């Protein structure tokens, strides 16, 4: 879709992949070999796709010693003027928050933190229409949800914990279309009845959409039938190949943090 001059420019945080990417964690799938060169090209294509859709990207300082740091969404949850620095459930990922905090503080966000014994990964946090659903699975615990609820209540959000047993993060299972319909690949969704409006998609990565503004969405290239389903509902779909990140249980959602209403 052509971007007109009147399209709102929105910002997104991204973080370039670590040279140690291949050492990233895998939990629910078998480890397979990562092609680092290809991963770097795919990351650049992802960033280029955001630019082509009118987004400005801001790079969080690289964390070369953190293999999973490219999955920047897990380190910070942004809601309105509040940025909640997470406390990732996997110890290897805890140092990633340092750079994320610098980035959001520099942008003028009101910075809050998840403190021990709370744990929370940003990939577990699905926000839509004033409600925040948080997956309670391997990475996020009840105390993490309680602290997030407290931080986001000040922004008027209602935060709800939901069960998560089949995939790494809540947003590995479900995301929301621009009209609020929650999309998920049913074999991997614990309880679709949590959402009033749920649409089953035919492919696992069809469950992952990034909202680009208006009727535009970004999704992975390996879910063509889901893309067709979204097009038939009137959405304009951009696709990116993120195969190397999927080998580490990453999705399109976790490679950026979209900053609508950024303070600066
Ligand atoms: N939000 C996300 O879906 N993040 C993906 C994180 C993948 C990484 N290998 C991890 O296990 O933490």
Tens of pLDDT, residue by residue over 207-263, are: 999 999 999 999 999 999 999 999 999 999 999 999 999 999 999 999 999 997 778
Predicted pLDDT of residue 262? 79
Q: State the distance from the centre of ligand 1 to the C-alpha of 68, rounded, in angstroms.
A: 7
Rounded average pLDDT over 84-99:
98
How far, in Å, CA of 253 to CA of 243, rounded? 14
How far, in Å, CA of 84 to CA of 15, rounded? 17
- The ipTM (two decimal places) reads 0.98
The domain segmentation of the chain, as residue ranges, is 11-259
Predicted pLDDT of residue 260? 78
Q: State the distance from the centre of ligand 1 to the C-alpha of 102, rounded, in angstroms.
A: 21
The alpha carbon dihedral of 223, 229, 232, 233 has a sign of negative
Q: Show Cβ contacts of residue 158 under 8 Å, excluding neighbours closer than 6 positions.
A: 130, 131, 132
Residues 11-259, CATH architecture: 5-stranded Propeller (3.75)
Report the nearest-CA residue for atom 10 of ligand 1: 25
pLDDT of residue 3 exceeding 70, the answer is no
> Residues with Cβ within 6 A of ligand 1?
24-25, 27, 68, 71, 73-74, 90, 93, 123, 168-169, 171-172, 248-251, 254
pLDDT of residue 7 exceeding 60, the answer is no
Per-residue pLDDT tens over the stretch 152-195: 999 999 999 999 999 999 999 999 999 999 999 999 999 999 99
- H-state helical runs in 111-205: 142-153, 170-173
Phi, psi of 56 (to 5 degrees): -95, 140
Positions marked active-site: 169, 254
Q: State the distance from the centre of ligand 1 to the C-alpha of 234, rounded, in angstroms.
A: 30
Predicted pLDDT of residue 261? 73
Q: Which atom of ligand 1 is nearest to the CA of 172?
A: 3
pLDDT of residue 5 exceeding 50, the answer is no
Predicted pLDDT of residue 240? 98
Q: Are 166 and 135 in contact (CB under 8 A)?
A: no
pLDDT of residue 6 exceeding 60, the answer is no
Report the nearest-CA residue for atom 6 of ligand 1: 250
Global pTM? Answer: 0.95
pLDDT of residue 9 exceeding 60, the answer is no
Q: State the distance from the centre of ligand 1 to the C-alpha of 55, rounded, in angstroms.
A: 23
Predicted pLDDT of residue 263? 83
Per-residue pLDDT tens over the stretch 104-129: 999 999 999 999 999 999 999 999 99
* Residue to probe by mutation, ligand 1, list 27, 121, 174, most atoms within 8 Å of CB: 121
How far, in Å, CA of 106 to CA of 93, rounded? 22
């Amino acid at each position: 879709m052509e971007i007109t001059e009147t399209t709102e420019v929105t910002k997104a945080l991204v973080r370039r992949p670590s040279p140690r990417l291949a050492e990233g964690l895998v939990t629910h799938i078998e480890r397979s070999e990562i092609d680092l060169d290809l991963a770097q090209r795919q990351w650049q294509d992802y960033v280029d796709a955001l630019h082509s859709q009118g987004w400005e990207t801001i790079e969080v300082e690289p964390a070369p010693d953190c293999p999973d740091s490219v999955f920047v969404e897990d380190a910070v949850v942004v809601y309105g003027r509040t940025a909640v620095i997470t406390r990732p459930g996997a110890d290897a990922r805890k140092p990633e928050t340092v750079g994320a905090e610098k980035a959001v503080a520099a942008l003028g966000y009101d910075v809050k933190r998840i403190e021990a014994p709370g744990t929370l990964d940003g990939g577990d946090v699905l926000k839509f229409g004033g409600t925040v659903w948080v997956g309670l699975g391997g990475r996020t615990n009840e105390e993490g949800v309680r602290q997030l609820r407290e931080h986001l209540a000040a922004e008027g959000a209602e935060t709800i914990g939901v069960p998560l047993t089949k995939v790494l993060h809540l947003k590995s299972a479900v995301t929301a279309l621009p009209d609020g319909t929650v999309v998920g690949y049913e074999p991997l969704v614990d309880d679709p009845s949590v959402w009033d409006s749920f649409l089953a998609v035919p492919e696992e990565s069809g469950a992952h959409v990034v909202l680009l503004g208006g009727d535009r969405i970004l999704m992975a290239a390996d879910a063509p039938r889901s893309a067709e389903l979204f097009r038939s509902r009137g959405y304009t779909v951009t696709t990116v190949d993120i195969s190397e990140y999927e080998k580490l249980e990453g999705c399109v959602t976790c490679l950026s943090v979209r900053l609508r209403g950024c303070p600066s």
